[in-house]
Structure 1
Amino acid sequence: MSSKAYRPRREDFRCFYTLGTRWGDHDSYGHVQNIVYYSFFDSAISHFLVEQGTLDIDSSPVIGLIVESSCTFLSPITFPDVVTVGLRISHLGNSSARYELGIFRNDESEASALGYVVYVYVDRASNASVAIPEGVREALRRLVD
């Protein structure tokens, strides 16, 4: 973890979700495990889409599949920290969207981690790439950086 790397601030993001760490999230060094950060990303994106009414987990005919993701760890998070995940969209294409996410520890103004997740939208039945439905696109535009 590097404290000298670029650390986005809360104001760099458009929407936020707060999640708690759990006792089992940390490793033997006392840091939240790397895989948990990806769970924070996925939870924040899913919360946003469900709240916007653009994702019915059981029956949406078009769904977003993660095709690429990355996380840069900037400073540690530990239990019992509270994390806030900030979201923004850095690219909104015809059938894909790139979410950028910042993870903020407790009330800190600089991110403890910065990541991205690329979704490609597909027809649920055929798994074929399709254009992002207009309702989803409209919701995602609210996050465009």
Structure 2
Amino acid sequence: MRAPPGSRADYAHFSQHTTRWMDNDTYGHLNNVVHYMLFDATVNSWLIAQGLLDPREGAAIGFVIESGCRYHGPMSYPQIISAGLKVANIGSSSVRYEIALFPDSSDVAAAEGFFVHVYVDAKTHRPCPIPQQTRAALQTLQK
């Protein structure tokens, strides 16, 4: 049996995203690629706001090695999407982010997804431990 959609209470941090006319597909709802774009923007904007991501000068960067999405209901332009973010697991070099998309003021997720990032040395692209400052910040997103 499929798990029911999550609620806002399941997530630790929220960001707002405005849908665009071009986000709708032929069927009149957000194309699936838009969900992944919102997931990516949510994670990376949080990392940047925390001072943890510098794609040009940082010593360690996170590469996506796995992702997924479960769709519960449609979203479409024009809607404001609230993206909930939490961290489900922190390993020695990897982190699993979970993200939910809530249309307008809904308390029920229309989509839930995840990204697994593996931290790598920015120069060699070989796995490395999650930097301690990053680990401490990620722990604040655990629910």
- Whether the aligned pair in 2 keeps the contact of 1:96 and 1:119 (CA below 8 Å) is yes
Q: Percent identity, aligned pairs only?
A: 37
CA separation in 2, counterparts of 1:67 and 1:82? 29
Q: CA deviation at 1:94?
A: 0.4
- Which of residues 102, 118, 121 is equivalent to 1:120? 118
- Whether the aligned pair in 2 keeps the contact of 1:5 and 1:74 (CA below 8 Å) is no
Q: Count how many residue pairs are aligned between Structure 1 and Structure 2.
A: 142
> TM-score, normalising length from structure 2?
0.97
Q: CA deviation at 1:61?
A: 1.1
Counterpart of 2:106, as a letter, is E
- Which of residues 66, 71, 76 is equivalent to 1:73? 71
Q: CA deviation at 1:56?
A: 1.3
Once superposed, what is the RMSD of the aligned Cα atoms?
Answer: 0.9
Q: CA deviation at 1:144?
A: 1.1
CA separation in 1, counterparts of 2:55 and 2:9? 30
- Which of residues 27, 35, 49 is equivalent to 1:29? 27
Counterpart of 2:86, as a letter, is R
What whole-Å deviation, never above 9, does each CA across 1:74-101 have from its counterpart, x for those lacking one? 0000000110110001100000000011
Match of 1:85 in 2: 83
Match of 2:101 in 1: 103
Counterpart of 2:96, as a letter, is R
Match of 2:13 in 1: 15
Match of 1:137 in 2: 135
CA separation in 1, counterparts of 2:38 and 2:86? 14
> TM-score, normalising length from structure 1?
0.96
CA separation in 2, counterparts of 1:6 and 1:90? 18
What whole-Å deviation, never above 9, does each CA across 1:6-56 have from its counterpart, x for those lacking one? 110001000001000000001011010000000000000011000101111
Q: CA deviation at 1:104?
A: 0.3
| Regions of 4+ moved over 2 Å | none
Counterpart of 1:66, as a letter, is V
